[in-house]
Chain A
Amino acid sequence: MRWSPSLFSAANQRSARRPQVEPVPFQMLLPLKLKKTVSGKNDRQREAACMQEMAVMFACFKKSEFDQQQCLKEVAAFQGCYKEYKEKASSLRQQERQGILVPGEKKLTHRQMNQLLKAFPPQS
């Protein structure tokens, strides 16, 4: 026998929760301020390197039926671009590892950002 359905009247038919009463009281589950670090998740999504040069090289290859000898200029441009990219990436990695900050740099990695945040902690 169901004896007091009104006492346990639920938010929906299946669960026996108390219906919430307005105004809903605020509960602070986490402190109401930003963390003192940034996450490194976004740094992974970087665009692929040397797309433009690769497209130009493909166009030349198609024209010359994949004879590399006729596309020396395009091939050199592509390889030079990749080499430059690699050098830049490795120097960046090394700077990160040593914790060198380039003054006036607009685009910071998460490590550099954290380093700055640690040096100049946000006022709270």
Chain B
Amino acid sequence: MNTLIPLSKNIVPVVANFSKPRWELISRHYARPTSFPDFFKNPVFRKEDQAPLVESGELATLAKAPYKPPGVSETSSAYYDPLVNKVINHVMEMGKKKLARSLVEKAFENIKRKQIERYHLASSDAEKAKIELDPKVVLHKAIENSKPLLQLTPVKRGGITYQVPGPITENRSEFLAIKWLLEATNDKERTIHFPEQFAWELLDAANNTGKVVKRKQDIHRQCEANRAYAHYRWQ
């Protein structure tokens, strides 16, 4: 779309607007298409994921099939963690990944500082052993504790909408956990910065306390209250 679109009778010629980048000119109501056709496979870039493929001998066939290139952040580094990457993507706004990553890493640093302080304040070895010093482990634990087990789905029966409890998929429950953690974090004073609050929320959730765990339990309570409608669910 550089200068002019070829004219047909009803089409007004579109002159390229160079003041804005191209993606801001297009209003999109559909998922961004990749430049790769459907038969391109997703890349397997981690050693952990490659190992079972090597064992089963699938790698030889996969290596010959066309696959998409991995993203810039998707590496086989020992420091790469898919869940951390996912959280970073959820924190990200307007594609500013560098900023999102720095925020999450700052939060990790805050967790580390707080936990080390606790560690040195602890008097006995038994207490010290209980304190988790690895921020990534804290994040994993926090998300695991925030995951809801059930969800309420609105079902219309006889003109009345019932909230029907039912099981939730693994992906959706992980998504909700991350979303709730971020919502709880953003519900803060203006003077407190994101990394600080996020660190607190993660530590709280990892400890099975705090706003997010309470929210999860509230959902479970609602599901329990509406358990009489559970048979309205159709699967």
Residues on A lying within 8 angstroms of B by beta carbon are 44-51, 54-55, 57-58, 61-62, 66, 68-69, 75, 78-79, 82, 85-86, 89
> Is the C-beta of B221 less than 8 angstroms from some C-beta in chain A?
yes
A86 to B149, CA, bound (A): 15
> Is the C-beta of B106 less than 8 angstroms from some C-beta in chain A?
no
Indicate which residue in B217, B221, B230, B235 contacts A54 across the interface (CB closer than 8 Å): B230
> Is the C-beta of B234 less than 8 angstroms from some C-beta in chain A?
yes
Q: How far is the CB of B143 from chain A (nearest CB, A)?
A: 14
Q: How far is the CB of A57 from chain B (nearest CB, A)?
A: 8
Q: How far is the CB of B104 from chain A (nearest CB, A)?
A: 26
B220 close to A61 (CB less than 8 A): yes
A46 to B223, CA, bound (A): 21
A91 to B207, CA, bound (A): 39
**Which A residue sits closest to B149, measured CB to CB?**
A75
> Is the C-beta of B208 less than 8 angstroms from some C-beta in chain A?
yes
**Which A residue sits closest to B168, measured CB to CB?**
A82
B149 close to A48 (CB less than 8 A): no
B235 close to A47 (CB less than 8 A): yes
Indicate which residue in B221, B223, B224, B230 contacts A48 across the interface (CB closer than 8 Å): B230
> Is the C-beta of B167 less than 8 angstroms from some C-beta in chain A?
yes
- What chain B residues lie within 8 Å of A85 (beta carbons)? 235
Chain A interface, >50% SS class:
helix
B233 close to A48 (CB less than 8 A): yes
B166 close to A48 (CB less than 8 A): yes
A50 to B220, CA, bound (A): 16
A62 close to B231 (CB less than 8 A): no
A50 close to B167 (CB less than 8 A): yes
Q: A66-B220, A69-B208 are in contact. Are A54 and B231 (CB under 8 A)?
A: no
> Is the C-beta of B195 less than 8 angstroms from some C-beta in chain A?
no
8 extra interchain contacts, Cβ-Cβ under 8 A, other than A68-B149, A69-B208?
A44-B234, A48-B230, A48-B235, A61-B224, A66-B217, A78-B149, A82-B167, A85-B235
B235 close to A49 (CB less than 8 A): yes
> Is the C-beta of B165 less than 8 angstroms from some C-beta in chain A?
yes
Cβ < 8 Å to A, chain B residues 191-235? 208, 217, 220-221, 223-224, 227, 230-235
Q: How far is the CB of B191 from chain A (nearest CB, A)?
A: 34
A55 close to B227 (CB less than 8 A): yes
B230 close to A66 (CB less than 8 A): no
A85 to B220, CA, bound (A): 21
Q: How far is the CB of B172 from chain A (nearest CB, A)?
A: 12
Cβ < 8 Å to A, chain B residues 162-177? 165-167, 169
**Which A residue sits closest to B224, measured CB to CB?**
A58
A54 close to B165 (CB less than 8 A): yes
Indicate which residue in B166, B221, B234 contacts A66 across the interface (CB closer than 8 Å): B221
**Which B residue sits closest to A48, measured CB to CB?**
B233
- What chain A residues lie within 8 Å of B167 (beta carbons)? 49-50, 54, 78-79, 82
A47 close to B231 (CB less than 8 A): yes
